[in-house]
Structure 1
Amino acid sequence: MDMKSDFGSGAGNPVVARPFEGIRVIDTSHVLAGPFCSYQLALLGADVIRIEPPTNGDIARKMGSDKELNSHELGLAFVSQNANKRSLAVDLKTPEGKEILWKLVDTADVFVENYRPGAMKRLGFDADAVMARKADIIYASMTGYGQEGPLSSRPAYDHVVQAFSGMMTANRTLSGENHRVGFAIVDYVTGLFGAFSVASALFQRTHTGRGQKIDVAMLDAALTIMGPLLTEVAITGGLNRPNGTRAFSGSPVSGIFETAEGMLATTANTRVQAMAMLKAIGLPELAADPRLESWGDYPELGDEIAPLLRQAILRHSAMHWEDLLSSIGVPAARVRDLPEILKDPHLQSREVVLKAPPVAGLERPLNVPGVGFKMAEGGQHIDRAPPRRGEHTAEILRSVGFDDTQIAELAADGVVKMAEKN
Structure 2
Amino acid sequence: MNATEAGLPLGDGPLRGLVVIDVTRVVAGPYCTMMLADLGATVIKVENPAEPDYVRTFPPFVEGENGRASAFFAQYNRHKLSVSLNLKTGEGQALLRKLVGQADMLVENFRPGTMAKLGLDYEALKDENPGLVYVSISGFGQTGPHSLRPAYDNSAQATGGLWSFNGEKGRPPVRVGTIIGDLSASFYAAIAALAAVMHARQTGEGQLVDVAQQDSVVTLTEHAVVNFTVDHVVAQPLGNDHPFVRPYGQFACKDGFVFFGAYTDKFWREACRIFGEPDLIADTEIDTMEKRFDPQVYEHHVAPVVRRWCADRTKAELEEMAGDLIPLTPIKTMAEVVQDPHLGVREMFVPVVMDGVPVTVFGSPMKLSKTPVRAAGIAPAFGEHNATVFGGWAGLSAGDLERLRAQGVI
Among 293, 301, 309, the alignment partner of 1:312 is 309
1:99 equivalenced with 2:73 (yes/no) = no
User: 2: CA distance between counterparts of 1:285 and 1:170?
Assistant: 37
Alignment length (residue pairs)? 396
The amino acid across from 1:334 in the alignment is: P
Task: Indicate the SS of the match to 2:323.
Answer: helix
User: 2: CA distance between counterparts of 1:48 and 1:151?
Assistant: 31
Counterpart residue number, 2:238: 243
Counterpart residue number, 2:8: none
Task: Indicate the SS of the match to 2:307.
Answer: helix
Counterpart residue number, 1:420: none
The answer on whether the counterparts of 2:166 and 2:236 sit within 8 Å (CA) in structure 1 is no
- The higher relative CO (CA closer than 8 Å, separation ≥ 6) is in 1
5 Å matches for 1:4-403? 18-66=13-61, 68=63, 74-239=69-234, 243-247=238-242, 250-251=245-246, 253-287=247-281, 288-291=283-286, 292-295=288-291, 298-305=294-301, 306-327=303-324, 329-356=325-352, 358-360=353-355, 362=356, 364-382=357-375, 384-398=377-391, 399-403=393-397
User: 2: CA distance between counterparts of 1:43 and 1:33?
Assistant: 16
Query: In the TM superposition, what is the alpha-carbon distance from 1:199 to its structure 2 partner?
Result: 0.8
The amino acid across from 2:399 in the alignment is: T
Among 401, 404, 409, the alignment partner of 2:398 is 404
Q: 1:313 and 1:43, CA in 2 relative to 1: closer, same or farther beyond 3 A?
A: same
Deviating 4+ runs (over 6 angstroms) = none
The answer on whether the counterparts of 2:351 and 2:359 sit within 8 Å (CA) in structure 1 is yes
Query: In the TM superposition, what is the alpha-carbon distance from 1:283 to its structure 2 partner?
Result: 4.5
In structure 1, the gaps of 5 or more residues are 1-15, 417-422
Task: Indicate the SS of the match to 1:195.
Answer: helix
Task: Indicate the SS of the match to 1:80.
Answer: helix
Query: In the TM superposition, what is the alpha-carbon distance from 1:229 to its structure 2 partner?
Result: 2.7
Identity of aligned residues (%): 30
Query: In the TM superposition, what is the alpha-carbon distance from 1:234 to its structure 2 partner?
Result: 3.1
Query: In the TM superposition, what is the alpha-carbon distance from 1:190 to its structure 2 partner?
Result: 0.7
Q: What root-mean-square deviation, in Å, do the aligned CA atoms of Structure 1 and Structure 2 show?
A: 2.3
Q: 1:242 and 1:250, CA in 2 relative to 1: closer, same or farther beyond 3 A?
A: farther
User: 1: CA distance between counterparts of 2:263 and 2:293?
Assistant: 15
Query: In the TM superposition, what is the alpha-carbon distance from 1:55 to its structure 2 partner?
Result: 1.7
User: 1: CA distance between counterparts of 2:292 and 2:128?
Assistant: 58
User: 2: CA distance between counterparts of 1:123 and 1:242?
Assistant: 44
Query: In the TM superposition, what is the alpha-carbon distance from 1:359 to its structure 2 partner?
Result: 4.1
The amino acid across from 1:303 in the alignment is: E
Query: In the TM superposition, what is the alpha-carbon distance from 1:82 to its structure 2 partner?
Result: 0.3
The amino acid across from 1:318 in the alignment is: K
Task: Indicate the SS of the match to 1:145.
Answer: coil
Pick which of 206-215 and 33-42 moved more.
Answer: 206-215
User: 2: CA distance between counterparts of 1:131 and 1:108?
Assistant: 12
- TM (normalized to structure 2)? 0.90
Task: Indicate the SS of the match to 1:333.
Answer: strand
Q: 1:79 and 1:289, CA in 2 relative to 1: closer, same or farther beyond 3 A?
A: farther
User: 2: CA distance between counterparts of 1:122 and 1:169?
Assistant: 36
User: 2: CA distance between counterparts of 1:261 and 1:297?
Assistant: 28
Query: In the TM superposition, what is the alpha-carbon distance from 1:318 to its structure 2 partner?
Result: 2.1
Query: In the TM superposition, what is the alpha-carbon distance from 1:80 to its structure 2 partner?
Result: 1.0
Query: In the TM superposition, what is the alpha-carbon distance from 1:162 to its structure 2 partner?
Result: 1.2
Query: In the TM superposition, what is the alpha-carbon distance from 1:249 to its structure 2 partner?
Result: 5.2
User: 1: CA distance between counterparts of 2:270 and 2:124?
Assistant: 62
Task: Indicate the SS of the match to 1:376.
Answer: coil
Counterpart residue number, 2:7: none
User: 1: CA distance between counterparts of 2:233 and 2:24?
Assistant: 37
Query: In the TM superposition, what is the alpha-carbon distance from 1:315 to its structure 2 partner?
Result: 2.5
Deviations 1:257-302 (A, max 9, x none): 1112332211113122123223433454543234534147622122
Pick which of 227-236 and 174-183 moved more.
Answer: 227-236
Query: In the TM superposition, what is the alpha-carbon distance from 1:151 to its structure 2 partner?
Result: 1.0
Q: 1:150 and 1:240, CA in 2 relative to 1: closer, same or farther beyond 3 A?
A: closer
The amino acid across from 1:22 in the alignment is: G
The answer on whether the counterparts of 1:73 and 1:388 sit within 8 Å (CA) in structure 2 is no
The amino acid across from 1:211 in the alignment is: G
Q: 1:164 and 1:73, CA in 2 relative to 1: closer, same or farther beyond 3 A?
A: farther
